[in-house]
Amino acid sequence: MTGITWEDPFCAEGSSCFRLGTDAEGNGYIAVSGQEDHYLTDSIEALRTLITDIKAGKADHLL
Protein backbone atom coordinates (compact mmCIF):
# COMPACT_ATOMS: atom_id res chain seq x y z
CA MET A 1 0.00 0.00 0.00
CA THR A 2 1.28 3.46 -0.80
CA GLY A 3 0.51 6.55 1.17
CA ILE A 4 1.64 5.23 4.57
CA THR A 5 4.13 7.48 6.32
CA TRP A 6 6.24 5.21 8.53
CA GLU A 7 8.08 6.45 11.63
CA ASP A 8 11.61 5.25 12.39
CA PRO A 9 11.60 1.75 13.94
CA PHE A 10 11.25 1.25 17.68
CA CYS A 11 13.64 -1.55 18.60
CA ALA A 12 14.38 -3.64 21.68
CA GLU A 13 17.96 -4.61 22.36
CA GLY A 14 19.00 -6.10 19.04
CA SER A 15 15.60 -7.40 17.97
CA SER A 16 11.85 -6.88 17.78
CA CYS A 17 11.73 -3.68 15.76
CA PHE A 18 8.27 -2.26 15.18
CA ARG A 19 7.17 0.64 13.01
CA LEU A 20 4.17 2.91 13.43
CA GLY A 21 2.64 4.73 10.50
CA THR A 22 -0.29 6.89 9.45
CA ASP A 23 -1.98 7.85 6.19
CA ALA A 24 -4.01 10.80 4.92
CA GLU A 25 -7.31 8.91 5.40
CA GLY A 26 -6.98 8.81 9.20
CA ASN A 27 -5.63 5.28 9.57
CA GLY A 28 -2.88 4.11 11.92
CA TYR A 29 -0.55 1.19 11.17
CA ILE A 30 1.76 -1.11 13.13
CA ALA A 31 4.24 -3.44 11.41
CA VAL A 32 7.42 -5.37 12.10
CA SER A 33 10.32 -3.43 10.63
CA GLY A 34 11.18 -4.84 7.21
CA GLN A 35 7.71 -6.37 6.84
CA GLU A 36 5.69 -3.21 6.31
CA ASP A 37 3.57 -4.93 3.67
CA HIS A 38 2.07 -7.07 6.51
CA TYR A 39 0.56 -4.57 8.92
CA LEU A 40 -2.24 -4.13 11.42
CA THR A 41 -4.46 -1.14 10.82
CA ASP A 42 -7.10 0.81 12.71
CA SER A 43 -7.99 4.46 13.13
CA ILE A 44 -5.40 7.02 14.21
CA GLU A 45 -7.54 7.49 17.33
CA ALA A 46 -7.21 3.77 18.15
CA LEU A 47 -3.43 3.99 17.64
CA ARG A 48 -3.32 7.09 19.88
CA THR A 49 -5.30 5.25 22.59
CA LEU A 50 -2.99 2.23 22.37
CA ILE A 51 0.13 4.37 22.79
CA THR A 52 -1.42 6.39 25.64
CA ASP A 53 -2.50 3.23 27.47
CA ILE A 54 0.94 1.63 27.06
CA LYS A 55 2.58 4.79 28.39
CA ALA A 56 0.16 4.72 31.34
CA GLY A 57 1.35 1.23 32.25
CA LYS A 58 -1.75 -0.70 31.21
CA ALA A 59 0.40 -3.28 29.38
CA ASP A 60 3.11 -3.62 32.03
CA HIS A 61 1.80 -7.07 33.00
CA LEU A 62 3.01 -8.28 29.57
CA LEU A 63 6.64 -7.44 30.39
The b/e string for 18-48 (b: 16+ C-beta within 10 A; e otherwise) is ebbbbeeeebbbebeeeeeeebeeeeeeebe
Determine the pLDDT at residue 38. 96
Tens of pLDDT, residues 8-60: 999 977 678 999 999 999 999 999 999 999 999 999 999 999 999 999 999 99
The pTM for the full model equals 0.81
